[in-house]
Structure 1
Amino acid sequence: MTIHKEGRTYLTILLLILVAINAGIIFYLEQHILAQRISQIVSVIFFLLNLQFFRMPKRRLNVEDGQVIAPADGKVVVIEEVIENEYFKEKRQQISIFMSPLNVHNNRAPIKGIVSFYKYHAGKYLVAWHPKASSENERTTMVLKNESGTEVLVRQIAGAMARRIKCYAKVGKPYSAGQEYGFIKFGSRVDVFLPIGTKVKVNLNQKTKGGKTIIAELPSED
């Protein structure tokens, strides 16, 4: 496991701040050993929690043609057919994964393909499970087109805590299934929009592993 590049500067600064705080407590409260110990324990716990936010575990992928893999670690909170209004403007199968602050936060391409569309939207910071979060929150939209021409849309959505979305996608850029394409600091939600007729392979409230869990199988091209 490694630390994600998005967290290295933040964690370094946080560590320096915590060291400075504890040094100050030791200097000014030299006789208060209990206060020093409490401060040190709290600092270690706080740093480890933040460290967990930016962990990036290595995962071996074995994805077959037609399989759609989870773009994020988290829990499946939506499985439904909806009208996708931004790009397809027609009915699609939606699967949404909620990322808690304790989940791995990097996002992965759900299929192998080339980016055919990308757009960033500034927006609000409603809680990620709010019905309007998909259309009103800060978000990015990326569409991947595979070799057969099938397109899959994946959307990063910021939440009440997550106010930093990173997306490395550009139109024309190729991705392999499971390859990292972005990062959402401190959790939130990722929506995937698939063709009608896609076979969903997960259930509501099921936990997923980004780049590992098979969430669906695309309709056959026959």
Structure 2
Amino acid sequence: MKVKIHREGTNILIVVMLIMIVINLSAWMFIRPAVIPIVFSSISAILYLLIVNFFRSPRRTFRGDRENVVVSSVDGTVVALEEVFEPEVLRRKVRMVSVFMTVFNVHANWFPVDGEVLLVRHHRGRFLSAYLPKASIENERSTVLIRATNGQEILVRQIAGAVARRIVTYAEPGDAANIEDHMGFIKFGSRVDIYLPLDAEVFVKIGDKTTGGVSVIARLRNNPDD
């Protein structure tokens, strides 16, 4: 597994680096005693490393059986697992798996299944804590509908939070979805919901940790129409 800096973080890291250089050079030139610039530099280095850690972008390879498999779209913790009615796109009862990301998690988002992107839709909304259940339908969010290779529809929802107010979605209708490819990116801690058919076999439970593009969270039943 190779790790690099995600393209969403390149400009931010350059700007932050320049600002920190100016602040720290000024501190070393004009502030005494020397312990104060030392503290400034130490804090700056720690903050910069945290930002670099946030924007890391590992390249992952899924090595398991891909048939009917659903993987987690993100790194994080499963915070919800329930049967819900999805009112905006599917308009039917489905099984929802929600994974919450902290600022320490990788924030790249992977496609959960192989297939084809059918729909991409952005919804304006609030910026409540992404941990809250109502964030799924009230917060700023982006929805991606995918037809899996077995014909079933899987919906993925990127949800902004109180801190994360920048959702990036790379998927476009007609794109091929691949569980090893990035679907998008959410900046600074948030949540992703995956909506599955009711008959999907779910392998995770609340509190489980997931790894995007790697952790198998469910398996789809064969499409009865096939």
Q: Calculate the TM-score normalised by the size of structure 2.
A: 0.95
Q: Structure 1: how far apart are the matches of 2:183 and 2:223?
A: 27
CA drift of 1:146 comes to 2.0
Q: Which amino acid aligns with 1:134?
A: S
Partner of 2:53: 52
Q: Which amino acid aligns with 1:51?
A: V
Partner of 1:137: 139
Partner of 1:12: 14
Q: Structure 2: how far apart are the matches of 1:181 and 1:131?
A: 23
Q: Structure 2: how far apart are the matches of 1:219 and 1:81?
A: 17
Q: Which runs of 5+ in 1 are unaligned?
A: none
RMSD: 1.0
Partner of 2:221: 219
Partner of 2:81: 79
Q: Structure 1: how far apart are the matches of 2:61 and 2:76?
A: 18
Q: Which amino acid aligns with 1:217?
A: R
Partner of 1:40: 41
CA contact (8 A) 2:118 2:146 kept: yes
CA drift of 1:21 comes to 0.3
Q: Structure 1: how far apart are the matches of 2:12 and 2:157?
A: 25
Deviations 1:158-200 (A, max 9, x none): 0011011000111111111231010000120000000011111
Q: Structure 2: how far apart are the matches of 1:161 and 1:56?
A: 20
Partner of 1:158: 160
Q: Structure 1: how far apart are the matches of 2:63 and 2:181?
A: 12
Q: Which runs of 5+ in 2 are unaligned?
A: none
Q: Which amino acid aligns with 2:125?
A: G
CA drift of 1:39 comes to 0.4
Q: Structure 2: how far apart are the matches of 1:80 and 1:131?
A: 11
Deviations 1:23-49 (A, max 9, x none): 1111111x3110011001000000001
Moved over 2 A (4+): none
Secondary structure in 2 matching 1:6: coil
- Number of aligned residue pairs: 221
CA drift of 1:220 comes to 2.6
CA drift of 1:148 comes to 2.6
CA contact (8 A) 2:152 2:223 kept: no
CA drift of 1:112 comes to 0.6
Secondary structure in 1 matching 2:37: helix
Identity %: 41
Q: Structure 1: how far apart are the matches of 2:152 and 2:23?
A: 54
Choose which of 91, 94, 105 in structure 2 pairs with 1:92.
Answer: 94
Q: Structure 2: how far apart are the matches of 1:182 and 1:221?
A: 27
CA contact (8 A) 1:69 1:178 kept: no
Q: Which amino acid aligns with 2:117?
A: V
Q: Structure 1: how far apart are the matches of 2:85 and 2:124?
A: 21
Partner of 1:173: 175
